[in-house]
């Protein structure tokens, strides 16, 4: 059916493949959710504040989008490896180790998805009418409350879109992940790296098909969810 | 006592006004582009003038001579903008409560039910702003500002977005507010005649300058 692979074979997932699929879902969810607060904070800074070094921050945020992923992965290894400055700090302070662990894959996923996430959230914050925020401040609301009660809910569709974009990008992450945490089955072998492994295996064609199908399904589901949620929120805002 | 003494440059446009009104209701009139809204923004703290002094009764909001500039949220100015600026994701009740949430506590609070009754918005409380008429939005915006228990109420062209039939309603409402609450009011209108009977003082602006200061019909006769 699929280029010489039968339907039964195309559905016969091995336990190792399921492991890779669920690991990917975990890595992408944790990576996207953990980076969301930072994404919102940075997007708000870029959208609403003027400060020295703003263009530098903007450039730094977008760097993973334009750098070769393998470079980002190597820089993560240098910084967040067990000998790296940040790696040592996280290990001593929180007992959190990144290198060659799934947590490192989540970190790589977060970093690689960050530019897309920030971009979507920034656009949605910029689209919030600043005059409403002014009105809230004339009513006595402090800045943090204005942000939480006006900016955040009105930007919610974009924040959600940013989260899902970050998640989808994380599911597809390959280059930085394999450089930073390698491709250890059960530990750091994500969907993307499992697909890459199966393409290297002369007998891996069926596995490649199975995993590719899952990758497509996750991507389509993420996009449809994002669309549906955004439509629902904009209907609510219209008061219907 | 309302004191607005400011000098400000906005590119080619300059504002220079020296308004001291002894009454409770100050109307600022003048053609569009005269700088009326700019003055309201300065009173509310949304815009900081190059130099000046702004005070209502005994409360100083800004005095650049001493470097004092009270942040907007602490000024307790109930600002009813020309476009009502209701929060679209909150119901009418939610908008009104937003005003009450940070209300000034050092003077008797304005009651929620009292305001709802006065403005006649009880039947609208559950609605979103998108489903209100222009006049209804204006009423909710006035209610929201009142519930913040303001030191002064600013109304920017309260009649502009409203059809003729509703104008009398809003004018009547402003009159009621004047009588029911002892809150100083500053309102802006490009039609001096319309506001004449409500105001105790009228300041006429033209091209950023105060060109006339006179007493309105509501000026209490002294002696």
What is the ipTM score, two decimals? Answer: 0.89
Per the DSSP assignment, residues forming a β-bridge with B54 are B4, B62
Mean pLDDT of chain B: 86
- CA pseudo-torsion sign B214, B217, B220, B223: positive
Indicate the residue of B46, B87, B99 with minimum beta-carbon distance to A132. Answer: B87
Give residue B223's pLDDT: 34
Q: What are the chain B neighbours of A138 within 8 Å (beta carbons)?
A: 44-46, 72-73, 75, 77-79, 145, 148
Which two tokens mark B38?
A: 């700019």
CB contact under 8 A, A140 and B103: yes
Give B221 to chain A, closest Cα distance, Å. Answer: 34
| pLDDT surpasses 80 at B46 | yes
Q: What is the CATH number of domain A24-186?
A: 1.10.3720.10
Banded pLDDT at B219 (limits 50, 70, 90): low
Give the residue on A whose Cα is nearest the Cα of B127.
A239
What is the C-alpha to C-alpha distance for residues A121 and A155, in angstroms, rounded to an integer? Answer: 7
The CA-CA-CA angle for residues A235, A236, A237, to 5°, reads 90
Looking at residue A148, what is its pLDDT?
Answer: 94
Per-residue pLDDT for B180 more than 50?
A: yes
Quick check: A154 contacting B, CB < 8 Å? yes
Which pair of tokens denotes residue A208? 């490649």
Which residues 6+ apart lie within 8 Å of B77 measured at CB? Answer: A138, B43, B44, B45, B61, B150, B151, B152, B153, B154
Beta strand B13-21 with B185-189 is unpaired
pLDDT number for residue B114 = 85
Interchain contact A95–B (C-beta under 8 A): no
pLDDT recorded at residue A31: 95
Chain B touched by A138 (CB under 8 Å):
yes
Instruction: Report how far residue A90's alpha carbon sits from residue A105's, in angstroms, rounded to the nearest whole number.
Output: 15
* pLDDT at site A237: 59
Residue pLDDT, tens place only, B121-159 = 999 999 999 999 888 898 899 999 989 989 999 999 877
Residue B101 contacts residue B167 (beta carbons within 8 Å) = no
Q: Inspect the interface and report whether the beta carbons of A139 and B128 lie closer than 8 Å.
A: no
Tokens of B192: 């001096």
pLDDT at B173: 77
pLDDT value at B220 more than 70:
no
- Smallest CA–CA distance from A235 into chain B, residue: B89
| pLDDT confidence band for B190 (50 / 70 / 90) | confident
- Asked if residues B91 and B116 have their Cβ atoms less than 8 Å apart, the reply is no
Q: What is the mean pLDDT of residues B155-170?
A: 76
| Contacts with A233 from chain B: Cβ below 8 Å | none
Check pLDDT > 90 for residue B94. Answer: yes
Q: Do A237 and B88 touch (CB under 8 A)?
A: yes
A172 at interface of B, judged by CB pairs closer than 8 A: no
Four-way CATH pick for B2-215: 3.30.830.10, 3.40.50.300, 3.30.390.30, 3.40.190.10: 3.40.50.300
Q: Kindly state the average pLDDT of the residues B48-57.
A: 92
Structural domain spans, chain B: 2-215
| Closest Cα in chain A, distance from residue B220 (Å) | 30
Question: pTM for the complete prediction?
Answer: 0.83
| pLDDT of A230 | 73
Contact status, residue A229 vs residue A163, Cβ threshold 8 Å: no
What confidence score (pLDDT) does residue B161 get? 67
> pLDDT below 50 — which residues of chain A?
1, 239-240
Place of tokens 């409402």: B173
Q: What is the pLDDT of residues A47-105, one digit of tens each?
A: 988 899 999 999 999 999 999 999 999 999 999 998 899 999 999 999 899 988 999 99
Tell me what pLDDT residue A238 has.
57
Residue B119 near residue A111 (C-beta atoms within 8 A): no
Give, in order, the Cα–Cα distances in Å from A152 to each of A124, A125, A155, B89.
9, 8, 5, 11
């Amino acid at each position: 059916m699929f280029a010489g692979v039968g339907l039964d074979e195309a559905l016969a997932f091995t336990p190792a493949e399921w492991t890779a699929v669920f690991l990917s879902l975990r890595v992408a969810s944790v990576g996207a959710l953990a980076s969301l607060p930072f994404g919102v904070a940075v997007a708000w800074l870029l959208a609403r504040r003027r400060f020295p070094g703003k263009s530098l921050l903007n450039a730094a945020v977008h760097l993973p989008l334009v750098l070769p992923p393998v470079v980002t992965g190597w820089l993560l290894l240098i910084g967040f490896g067990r000998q790296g400055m940040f790696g040592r700090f996280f290990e001593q302070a929180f007992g959190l180790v990144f290198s060659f662990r799934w947590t490192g894959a989540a970190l790589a996923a977060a970093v690689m998805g960050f530019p897309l996430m920030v971009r979507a959230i920034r656009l949605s914050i910029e689209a919030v009418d600043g005059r409403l925020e002014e009105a809230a401040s004339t009513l006595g609301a402090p800045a943090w409350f204005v942000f939480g009660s006006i900016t955040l809910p009105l930007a919610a569709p974009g924040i959600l879109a940013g989260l899902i974009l970050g998640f989808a990008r994380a599911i597809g992450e390959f280059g930085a992940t394999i450089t930073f945490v390698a491709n250890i089955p059960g530990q750091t072998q994500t969907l993307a790296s499992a697909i890459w492994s199966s393409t290297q295996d002369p007998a891996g064609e069926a596995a490649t098909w199975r995993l590719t199908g899952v990758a497509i399904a996750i991507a389509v589901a993420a996009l449809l969810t994002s669309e549906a949620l955004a439509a629902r929120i904009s209907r609510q805002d219209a008061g219907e | 006592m309302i004191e607005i003494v400011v000098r400000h440059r906005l590119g080619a446009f300059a504002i220079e006004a020296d308004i001291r009104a002894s009454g409770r209701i100050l109307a600022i009139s003048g053609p569009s582009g005269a700088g009326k809204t700019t003055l309201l923004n300065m009173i509310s703290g949304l815009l900081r003038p190059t130099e000046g002094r702004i005070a209502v009764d005994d409360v100083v909001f800004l005095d650049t001579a001493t470097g004092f500039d009270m942040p907007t949220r602490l000024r307790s100015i109930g600002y009813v903008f020309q476009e009502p600026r209701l929060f679209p994701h909150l119901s009418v009740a939610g908008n009104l409560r937003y005003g009450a949430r940070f209300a000034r506590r050092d003077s008797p609070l304005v009651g929620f039910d009292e305001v709802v009754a006065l403005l006649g918005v009880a039947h609208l409380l559950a609605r979103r702003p998108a489903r209100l008429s222009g006049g209804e939005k204006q009423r909710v915006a006035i209610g929201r500002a009142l519930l913040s228990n303001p030191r002064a109420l600013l109304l920017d062209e309260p009649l502009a977005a409203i059809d003729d039939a509703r104008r009398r309603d809003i004018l009547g409402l402003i009159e009621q507010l004047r009588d029911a609450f002892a809150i100083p009011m500053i309102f802006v209108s490009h039609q001096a005649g319309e506001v004449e009977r409500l105001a105790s003082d009228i300041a006429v602006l033209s091209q950023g300058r105060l060109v006339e200061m006179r007493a309105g019909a509501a000026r209490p006769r002294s002696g």
